[in-house]
Structure 1
Amino acid sequence: SISHRTTPDTLSFFVAYLSVYVKPSTIASYLSGICNKLKPYFPSVRTTRQSRIVAQTLNGARRLCGTADERKCPLTSEDLLSLATTFGNATAHDEKLFFAAVMAGFHGLLRVSELTMPNLKSARDPQKYMLRHKVVLEDHRVTLHLPGHKADQYLAGHQIILQQHQNHLDPCAPLQKYLDSRDALFPFNPHLWLRQNGTVPSFGWMVKRMKGFFEGDIGSGPAVRLTSHS
């Protein structure tokens, strides 16, 4: 019979039971919550949780019942060539915006969420939007300023340097064409990325256009990066 006390055996049996119904990667969280509730009645439950047999059962559950990580398809130089072929001579402002933002995000290792505003209105914070007056144009590079965030100790932000390329991978030429269009349409708007209608592009707008143009699953979470590097 199984003891009602929290022995290493009972916890390991529980791990084996859970692995049939939930993802093994979440079992450790279940155990932590259970141990927290049981501690007033079984003070040694934390020590039991750290026992070797429980750890080995957890590892075995991950190996037997775990699933492979789902990875999104990265953008490649071939994708950028296709992008340049399609939008290199674009005349519509939104097309220039899309082209320039993807190229800047790819070379600047930026997330889509860093180039756009959240879909949810209550989550929008204009202080986190990139600003036009902080763009520095030089002969062979363009510098963008990424505003600070809560993990930035001094809230100074980061400088994103985009180097010029002599081929279809060049991010500077598309950005210059976009800036010419943007400055003509909205000379007094402080935000860098602006759509034809004068609003900062939303996360959903950008991802929808990316999924419509690029083949494969590029992801849709706020952390999706516009780069071939993970």
Structure 2
Amino acid sequence: IHNMPVEPTEETLSFYVVFTCAFLKPDSVDTYLSGICHQLEPYFPTIRQMRKSPIVHRTLQGCMRLHGSPVSRKRALTLDDLAIVIAHTDHNSYNDCLFLAMILTGFFALLRLGEMTFPDDKSLHNWRKITRRSSVSVSDISYQFLLPAHKADRFFEGNIVIVTKRQFAHNPLCHFDHYLRLRDARFPLASPLWITSEGRVPTRSFFTRKLATFFDKGIAGQSMRAGGATSLAEHGVAPALIQ
């Protein structure tokens, strides 16, 4: 309808990108363009070379800048945020103490939320990724446990997580020790380290619901690890050690 030649060229592919990006997200257009190349390749063998041409590549980049969706990131937790959680935690509530121990451990050990919780979808539960109570060791200056194989563990050997007593303005050890005593009194034979008052491994929604009682939607599960890394950088820890 636009009086374009039937045989594709670099220019027509570029025009297609500009036209389609007016109605669809550039990421989707990029995917559609790959599908079009796959369908037309038997008839036009050079179409993939055209797809990779500088003009098509730059057109896609320009459309992504013009029409792309902004990246939405959650705010990183801070030491002041942790102070709010500590001050308003009901230390007589088992689940509140569990949440406090989890958020402090996740922050200072740079753990992902998925490394301490189960997904909400039961079909995705994997007991091999659960931290065991038997791996925990507590001393006067630190506590440690074995984090089983996770997505960043290339050799599936697990990692020893060590959290020291003094972490700038906070002492995660005393809160972890308090939770551990409550947990062992209530569930002495249970295997998971992190366990709710109902005797279940906490889910992601359990943690985020607790988090929502302290902060707005700008704080989420990923804020914990990001906040810990940011805090270390602000206190002069070398990037190589943070990684």
TM-score of the superposed pair, with normalisation by structure 1: 0.91
Q: Is the 8 A contact 1:84 1:168 kept in 2?
A: no
Deviation at 1:35, TM superposition (A): 1.3
Q: Distance in 2 between matches of 1:32 and 1:144?
A: 47
Name which of structure 1's ranges 26-35 and 5-14 shifts more when overlaid on structure 2.
Answer: 26-35
Secondary structure of 1:213's match?
A: coil
Q: Distance in 2 between matches of 1:33 and 1:208?
A: 41
Matching of residue 30 in structure 1 with residue 28 in structure 2: no
2:6: which partner in 1? 4
Q: Distance in 1 between matches of 2:132 and 2:196?
A: 14
Where does 1:85-96 land on structure 2 (aligned, <5 Å)? 85-87=87-89, 90-96=91-97
1:74: which partner in 2? 76
Secondary structure of 2:196's match?
A: coil
Matching of residue 226 in structure 1 with residue 218 in structure 2: no
Matching of residue 138 in structure 1 with residue 136 in structure 2: no
2:48: which partner in 1? 46
Task: Report the identity percentage.
Answer: 35
2:17: which partner in 1? 15
The code of the aligned residue for 1:56 comes to R
Q: Distance in 1 between matches of 2:49 and 2:94?
A: 62
Check 1:60–1:166 CA distance in 2 against 1; reply closer, same or farther (3 A cut): closer
Deviation at 1:151, TM superposition (A): 5.8
Q: Which runs of 5+ in 1 are unaligned?
A: none
Q: Is the 8 A contact 1:109 1:225 kept in 2?
A: no
Deviation at 1:30, TM superposition (A): 2.2
Q: Distance in 2 between matches of 1:150 and 1:83?
A: 29
Deviations, residues 52-87 of structure 1 (Å, cap 9, x unaligned)? 211121121122212321111211111101011112
1:115: which partner in 2? 116
Q: Is the 8 A contact 1:112 1:225 kept in 2?
A: no
TM-score of the superposed pair, with normalisation by structure 2: 0.86
RMSD of aligned residue pairs (Cα, Å)? 1.8
Deviation at 1:150, TM superposition (A): 5.8
The code of the aligned residue for 2:134 comes to H
Q: Distance in 2 between matches of 1:168 and 1:185?
A: 30
Check 1:218–1:30 CA distance in 2 against 1; reply closer, same or farther (3 A cut): farther
Name which of structure 1's ranges 43-52 and 163-172 shifts more when overlaid on structure 2.
Answer: 163-172
1:149: which partner in 2? 150
Name which of structure 1's ranges 55-64 and 190-199 shifts more when overlaid on structure 2.
Answer: 55-64
Q: Which runs of 5+ in 2 are unaligned?
A: 231-243
